[in-house]
Amino acid sequence: MKTKNRLSDTPMSYRIFTIVVLILLAIFFIFPLYWIITGSFKDNKIIIAQDPQWFPLTPTLANYVKLFDRPALQWLLNIVVICVGAMVLTCLTASLAGYALAKKRFYGRAFLFGMITCAMALPKQVIVIPLLQEMSAIGLHDTLWAVILPTVGWPFGVFLMKQFSETIPGEILEAARVDGASEVRTFCSVVFPMIKPGIGALAIFTFVNTWNDYFMQLIMLNSEAKWTLPLGIARMQGEMSNDFGLIMAGATLAAVPIVAIFIAFQRYFTQGISMGAVKG
């Protein structure tokens, strides 16, 4: 009961202040998304008018018609292919490597882990320029692979899966070995089920980060057919900086699917994000 008393210690005025500030902030954080979506349905005359229309009273699909004159669906497909490709490859390679780093004793383990940790602290964008030269040299520049491959190489996933695999009890692995299970079998039927939540977290993390890695897409993808949706929006904004209706239509197409997925699977997102740092 003492706890309860202590909690209500906080002066009423401070609690009201907290709630008011939180509500104002919530409006401030939701508003850009609201403005994107409603803006995409506004006629250009309304958009360039000085008085803002808080809600599209005469909704129009003209912006979307203009958007789909461009290969916007191709851009959407490209970014989805990049994100899903990076996600699948990252989860696969990182869970194998993380398991080996956590549960196997081998020569070079400490060195390798040290290298991975150091690489993680470095800014990813710095290596993008030499990466561009590398990709041109191996003929992958201006292909979706040029974005996928470096994303898979980024060691955060290995680090996360290593932390996660530490929790697998050694006795279970020993038991599998005694029962005659091969290494591959042990991984598939013993290790994999135990690290599944970690893989889920990594999958979400990789997807969102790859989607937002605008710099990599900007450097690696040149031709219009290879652009991603974020890149397409940015380029359209550069070309016709005042056609906000069109740009908002593109932004809606990019934002609404992920926001919907996020709201539906919110629990997994928050678990995934916090998992990465529990021991990190």
Partner 1 sequence: MTQRSNAAASKQPPKLSIHQRSRVLARKETLSAYLFLLPSLIFFLGFVVAPMVMCLVYSFFDMGLNMDEATFVGLGNYFEMFQDAIFQKGFLNTVIIVVVAVPTVTAFSLWVSSAIYQMKAFTRSFYRCVFYLPVVTGTVAVTVVWKWMFNPYNGLINQIFDSVGFNWLGNSSTALACIIMILFTTSIGQPIVLYVAALGNVDHSLVEAAQVDGATKFQVFWKVKWPQIMPTTLYILVITTINSFQCFALIQLLTSGGPNHATDTIMYYIFDMAYKYHRFGYANAMGVILAIIIAIFSAVQFKLAKSET
Tell me if 50 contacts partner 1 by CB under 8 A: yes
Instruction: Please state the closest distance from residue 61 (CB atom) to partner 1, in A.
Output: 19
Closest alpha carbon to 212 in 199, 225, 200, 230: 230
Span of 60-68, 70-78, 194-202, 228-236 interacting with partner 1 by CB under 8 A: 228-236
Q: How far is the CB of 206 from partner 1 (least distance, A)?
A: 13
**Distance from C-alpha of 112 to C-alpha of 215, rounded to nearest angstrom:** 28
DSSP assignment, residue 138? T
Binding mask 106-145 for partner 1 (x = CB under 8 A): xx-x--x--xx--x-xxxxxxxxxxx-xx-----------
Structure tokens that stand for 121 in this block: 């602290």
CB of 65 to partner 1, least distance (A): 19
| Nearest approach, Cβ of residue 102 and partner 1 (Å) | 10
Task: Write out the two tokens for 94.
Answer: 């990182």
Question: Is residue 280 close enough to count as binding partner 1 by CB under 8 A?
Answer: yes
52 belongs to the binding site for partner 1 (CB under 8 A)? yes
Q: What's the closest the beta carbon of residue 132 comes to partner 1, in angstroms? A: 8
What does the alpha-carbon distance between residue 196 and residue 191 come to, in Å, rounded to a whole number? 9
Q: How far apart are CA 219 and CA 266, in angstroms?
A: 32
CA distances from 162 to 136, 258, 268, 269 (A): 33, 28, 20, 20
**AA letter at 72:** A
What are 230's two structure tokens?
């974020």
Among 87, 144, 158, 202, binds partner 1 (CB under 8 A): 158
52/149 Cα distance (integer angstroms): 44
If DSSP codes are grouped into helix, strand and coil, which group holds residue 122? coil
Q: Scanning residues 245 to 274, which ones bind partner 1 (CB under 8 A)?
A: 247-248, 251, 254-255, 258-259, 262-263, 266-267, 269-270, 273-274
Nearest-angstrom CA–CA distance, 136 and 131 = 8
CA distances from 177 to 138, 180, 190, 194, 242 (A): 42, 5, 11, 17, 66
CB of 26 to partner 1, least distance (A): 5
Q: Of the listed pieces 4-12, 55-63, 64-72, 195-203, which binds partner 1 according to CB under 8 A?
A: 4-12
- State how far the alpha carbon of 9 is from the alpha carbons of 17, 26, 87, 253, in Å: 15, 26, 48, 48
Determine, following the binding rule CB under 8 A, whether residue 183 of this chain makes contact with partner 1. Answer: yes
In the bound state with partner 1, the residue whose beta carbon lies nearer, of 8 and 61, is: 8
Q: Residues 8-47 vs partner 1: string with x where CB under 8 A?
A: -xx-------x---x--xx-xxx-xx-xx--x-------x
Of 59-67, 70-78, 194-202, 231-239, which part binds partner 1 (CB under 8 A)? 231-239
Interface with partner 1, residue 221, by CB under 8 A: no
Q: Considering the rule CB under 8 A, would residue 6 count as an interface residue with partner 1?
A: yes
